[in-house]
Chains A and B, each alone.
Chain A
């Protein structure tokens, strides 16, 4: 028998209540894992998308919307001849409803730009020129839309041919409908407008030089801002709101967990008043009683944390297969996040046990004689 035995037996006295408390914490921690994992995944997905497109610097105007604000396509030309710029590719990226899918990434790229080069054709082909009324679909997008090469796709008012299925190498790319920029501008009435410029720098360019390039581009194009690839999503006000909401909701869930554990531990202390007094009467120091209660609450937190991580992972895996968001998200459930979630849960457990532990330490051993 070790000291941990006291914590385990204490929790086993009321298995149903202990179980329900663990479920309560698990749900809170699952919310943390799912919401933070998804919001981080959103960032990771965009970063991976940029990486596979071969983009080093992104020029866009991330306002309050989830996609960047449009600006004049002519602005792109100002960047083309800057030092360290190897290639640029103007794009128009939007989230729109496409046939059965409520929300789909439509990625329109300047025909011939470097962002087409990393697309591996799985079946069919790429559009033959900028004017061909055709799209290629990322593998996931094809599954979601249930399209194959040769089918037609209704995009806004235009009927386009699906000429190829591609592997873009990243969730965002594979979940996209990809077409030429000029065709998309024509269909959506956005002639002369783009909302992103992807910039590839010359080999050997240092990070410092890229930062200087970003500053230069930003000064040249007042409507947009140039940032290193991957950082642009963090500039998005919408993304910041999503992130804040995910943490806010997580905080609420954790708060509910704190109250749940505190309630359980207070009940435990009230129910076991006599038992605690007996422990004091047989010579246990008050600090040992405090430790016993804190071990119990920490154990509740640990079990809730592990349960929450498992529920969170399962929940997120189920969520990303939902038709409405399939192909849009690549949840980032990295080991650090999962370990942090368990750690939060243990801290919640210990924190929640502080008041009950303090209460238990105030008991007088003479109470053991009553009853």
Chain B
């Protein structure tokens, strides 16, 4: 059953969404239904192997569902001919391990997704500078990832995810490789972006403290959604 929590425009709608591996021997998603509206901050929680990262991959069109359907703004995602353009322009993906290209500076890493946009070289450079400035990394523009701290790397990755003006951010354990101080900085940043730019934010985590900062929590277990409810206000705004 699709559930609306924000009451805005529907961004994602999953209908009996399934994902199987190894010819059906592994069922990562066993038919999930949900709806995510524009401007929501959703935490996907659950233990390892519950299917939350697989679900995030489906939302990001990084993999194809085995069954059911997933709609993006009312249209089936699987039927889109330009999934690369969807990944480049509509969504931004943030990884637990940052996945910055090691031979490129912070500025250059942020410019990478912009090669799929019509921006010219000068415009790409200027936008990358602005984005890095917005995440507080102006003094680190020309540093290679190896010269940045974990928190700084994740901030570069967040800037990269916003390169083409995505309206949806998908974050897979974005603080999983960070100490608590840096994790706090990253969560604050994500919350600020969500609030200021009205971004739809879907965040995978197994940390209930982080999940509490979302406006809605979807809990998964064994490839199924076992609960889907708004986060209690006292927990959401500690």
Find residues 119-169 in chain B having any chain A CB closer than 8 Å to their own CB: 121, 124-125, 160-161, 163-164
Question: Is A282 within 8 A of B87, CB to CB?
Answer: yes
Could you tell me the distance in whole angstroms from the C-beta of A284 to the nearest C-beta in chain B?
6
* CA gap between A274 and B125 in the complex, in Å: 25
Question: Is A283 within 8 A of B113, CB to CB?
Answer: yes
Let me know if A13 is at the binding interface, CB within 8 A: yes
Considering the complex, give the chain A residue whose CB is closest to the CB of B82. A285
Question: Is B57 within 8 A of A282, CB to CB?
Answer: no
Main secondary structure of the interface of B (DSSP, over half): helix
* CA gap between A365 and B88 in the complex, in Å: 12
Question: Is B160 within 8 A of A282, CB to CB?
Answer: yes
Contacts of A285 in B (CB 8 A): 84-85, 116
Contacts of A364 in B (CB 8 A): 62-63
Binds A, one of B7-15, B41-49, B101-109, B218-226: B101-109
Let me know if B53 is at the binding interface, CB within 8 A: yes
Contacts of A369 in B (CB 8 A): 53, 57, 62, 95, 172
* CA gap between A10 and B161 in the complex, in Å: 22
* A283-B87, A284-B84 known; A366 vs B124 contact (CB < 8 Å): no
Question: Is B97 within 8 A of A371, CB to CB?
Answer: yes
* A282-B112, A288-B116 known; A365 vs B104 contact (CB < 8 Å): no
Contacts of B164 in A (CB 8 A): 283
* CA gap between A364 and B57 in the complex, in Å: 11
Which of B62, B108, B111 interacts with A366 by CB under 8 Å? Answer: B62
Question: Is A281 within 8 A of B85, CB to CB?
Answer: no
Let me know if A368 is at the binding interface, CB within 8 A: yes
* CA gap between A10 and B61 in the complex, in Å: 26
* A281-B87, A283-B116, A284-B88 known; A365 vs B121 contact (CB < 8 Å): no
Question: Is A366 within 8 A of B63, CB to CB?
Answer: yes
Considering the complex, give the chain A residue whose CB is closest to the CB of B90. A283
Contacts of B61 in A (CB 8 A): 365
Question: Is A282 within 8 A of B108, CB to CB?
Answer: no
Let me know if B39 is at the binding interface, CB within 8 A: no
Which of A2, A9, A279, A284 interacts with B103 by CB under 8 Å? Answer: A9
* A1-B124, A281-B60 known; A275 vs B87 contact (CB < 8 Å): no
Let me know if A202 is at the binding interface, CB within 8 A: no
Which of B87, B115, B172 interacts with A3 by CB under 8 Å? Answer: B115
* CA gap between A209 and B121 in the complex, in Å: 64
Question: Is A1 within 8 A of B116, CB to CB?
Answer: no
Contacts of B57 in A (CB 8 A): 366, 369
Considering the complex, give the chain B residue whose CB is closest to the CB of A283. B88
Find residues 59-90 in chain B having any chain A CB closer than 8 Å to their own CB: 60-63, 84-89
30 A/B residue pairs, CB under 8 Å, sorted by A? A1-B104, A1-B124, A2-B121, A9-B101, A10-B103, A13-B102, A13-B103, A274-B99, A278-B101, A279-B112, A280-B62, A281-B62, A281-B99, A282-B163, A283-B85, A283-B87, A283-B116, A283-B164, A284-B112, A285-B84, A285-B85, A288-B116, A364-B62, A364-B63, A365-B60, A365-B62, A365-B87, A368-B62, A369-B95, A369-B172
Question: Is B121 within 8 A of A1, CB to CB?
Answer: yes
Contacts of B163 in A (CB 8 A): 282
